[in-house]
A = this chain, B = another copy of it.
Amino acid sequence: MGKPQPIEYADASPEVKAVFDDIKTSRNVPDVNNFWKYLANDPTTLKRTWESVKEVMAPGALDPLVKELIYVAVSVTNNCGYCIASHTASAEKAGMTEAQFGELMAVVGMANETNRLVNGYRVPIDPAYEK
Q: How large is the interface on A (under 10, 10 to 19, 20 to 34, 35 or more residues)?
A: 35 or more
Residue of B39, B57, B114 near A53 (CB, 8 A) is: B114
Chain B residues positioned under 8 Å from A125 (CB to CB): 34, 81-82, 85-86
A123 interfacial by beta-carbon distance below 8 Å: yes
Check: A12 CB closer than 8 A to any chain B CB: no
Are A109 and B113 in contact, with the CB atoms below 8 A?
Answer: yes
Q: Number of copies of this chain in the oligomer?
A: 6
- Asked if A24 is an interface residue, CB under 8 A from chain B, the answer is no
Report Cα–Cα, A110/B65, bound state, in Å: 16
Asked if A13 lies at the interface with its beta carbon under 8 angstroms from chain B, I say: no
- B108, A72: Cβ atoms closer than 8 Å: no
Contact A45 B123, beta carbon cutoff 8 Å: no
Does B62 contact A122, Cβ atoms closer than 8 Å? no
A41 to B98 CA separation, bound complex (whole angstroms): 8
Interface string of A90-107 (1 = CB under 8 A from B): 001000111111111111
Within 8 Å CB of A45, what residues of B?
A: 102, 105-106, 109, 117
Nearest CB of chain B from residue A30's CB, rounded to whole Å: 11
Q: Is A49 interfacial (CB-CB < 8 Å)?
A: yes
Which residues of A from 17 to 64 have beta carbons under 8 Å from B?
33-35, 38-39, 41-42, 44-45, 48-49, 52-53, 55-57, 60-62
